[in-house]
Amino acid sequence: MTSDVLSHGERRGSSPWWYAGLAATLALATGLGLMAGSADSVKPPPAATRTTAPSPSAGAADLDGPTYSSLLVAGDRLLRLDVDRTSARSLSIPGLGPDRYVSSLASRRGATVVLVSKRRGPARPGSAWTVPAGGGTPVPLGLADQVLPAVAPDQVWLVTSPAAGQGGHRLLRRLDMRGRPLSPGYAIDVAGRLVADVDDGFLVERTGAGGSGLDVVDRRTGRLHERLAPRGATLAAGPHQLAWVDRSCHLRCTVQVLDLRSGFRLVVSILDVAAYGGAMASPDGGRLAFTALAVVTPGGSPVPVLLVAGVDDPGISVVRLPAAAPGQAAASSLPRTLTWSANGDWVFLATPTLPQRLLAWRLGSAATAVVRFPMAGVSVVAAA
C-alpha cells in the first residue's frame, strides 16, 4: 500500500507506510504515513488546529453493501476473514495451543509477521512467524518478546530482553521475511518501551515519576539522539511520522502529529477524554482513526467513541460505539483493536461487548454496522 500525506500544506508523492503490530492491548498491523521524498529546507508552517464535529450515535445494523475487504483476525487462532461473505478460514500456525495465542501482527511487504505468545505463567519469549500474503507455509523467524517493523518495508527487528518492556538490555536482531539475518545481533541498554524504527534510531517511550515522554535513541548505543516530546504517549508511530497525546489531559485535549523528516507538525483538537484505546492511520495517510472514552454531551459520562481526524481537512468525525453492560466498567467496552480496509473507505473495530463480531464504519457514515464471523471461541486481539 502507498501513502500520500500533507507536507508543508501540500500533497507530495507516495511512499509505503509503516505497519506495525502493537502488542498486548493493541495488537494491530497499523501505521502512520511516510513522508514522501527527503526533507527540504523550507521552514514548516505553524501548527494547524482542527475543530471537533460530533456525529450521531452508532447503530447496530448488519453490514449493508460490500467492503471489498479481507482481514487477518487473531487470538486463540489465526483466521482469514472475508468480510463481505462473513466467512472465516483458520490458518495453521505452529505453536498455537491452549496456553498460547497470537499477541501481535505486523504487516510487511508481501507478508504478515505473527507473534505467538504464552498466555499465562512466567514471561517467556514468543515465537515469530512470517505468513505469506498469498498463502503458503509459515516461515519461522525466531524467539522474540516484540516484533518491531524496520524502516525497510520487507524487514523486521526481533526484540528480546530478560524483562520485556521494563527497561534493561534488549537483544536486537534484524531479519528479512525469510528469516535470514541482515546484521549480527547485539544488545543495547534502553530505559523505556521501543515504539518504532525511525531514520535516526529507535523511537522510545520512557516513563518516570514525571510521566511519559518520547525520545529517539541511537540504535547501537541506546544513548539519547533527540528528545521529541518531554510529555507524551504514543498513539501511533512509523519511520517518518509520530502521533502522540498527553494522557494526563482531560479538558480540551489534543493529538499532535509530527513529521520526523520535515518537522511539519499538526495539532488536532479532540474531546474531553478519560482513556485512549487503539489507533491506526488510513492507508493513504489522510486520516488518523483512534478510539477513546470521551464525554460527548455536556455534563455526561465518558462513553466509547471512534474518532477519525482528517490530516488535510478540518474537523473530526465522532461516532458512538456500544457501551458497557450495566454494572460493568466503561473501560471494558473500549475497543483497542482496529484496522482500515485496503481502499481506505472502512474502519473495522473489535469491541469486547460483541464476541464473534467486528464493527464496521464507512467514511461519512453516522453509525457503525456489525460484521459477524462464524468462528466460536475466538477472542480477537489483532486484525490486519
Please tell me the predicted confidence (pLDDT) of residue 21. 27
Q: Which domains does the chain have, with CATH numbers?
A: 18-383 (2.130.10.10)
pLDDT tens digits, one per residue of 215-271: 999 999 999 999 988 888 898 888 887 889 887 777 778 888 888 878 888 888 777
Q: Give 3-state DSSP helix, strand, coil % of the chain, rounded to 5.
A: 0, 50, 50
Residues 6+ apart with CB under 8 A from 261: 35, 38, 39, 199, 240
Please tell me the predicted confidence (pLDDT) of residue 92. 87
pLDDT: which is higher, 127 or 376: 127
With cell 454494572, the residue in question is 327
Residues 236 and 258: their CA atoms lie apart, in Å, by: 11
The rounded percent of the chain whose pLDDT value lies above 70 is 78
pLDDT: which is higher, 353 or 128: 128
pLDDT tens digits, one per residue of 289-346: 999 998 888 888 889 999 998 766 667 888 999 888 788 888 888 888 899 998 899 9
pLDDT tens digits, one per residue of 22-59: 222 222 233 333 222 223 333 333 344 444 444 444 44
User: C-alpha angle with apex 234: 232 to 236, nearest 5 degrees?
Assistant: 150
Residues 145 and 103: their CA atoms lie apart, in Å, by: 10
Q: Return the DSSP state at 118.
A: E
Which of 186, 95, 97 lies closest to 141 in space, CA to CA?
95
The overall average pLDDT reported for the chain is 77
pLDDT tens digits, one per residue of 180-230: 999 899 999 888 889 999 999 999 998 776 668 899 999 999 999 999 888
Residues 346 and 372: their CA atoms lie apart, in Å, by: 16
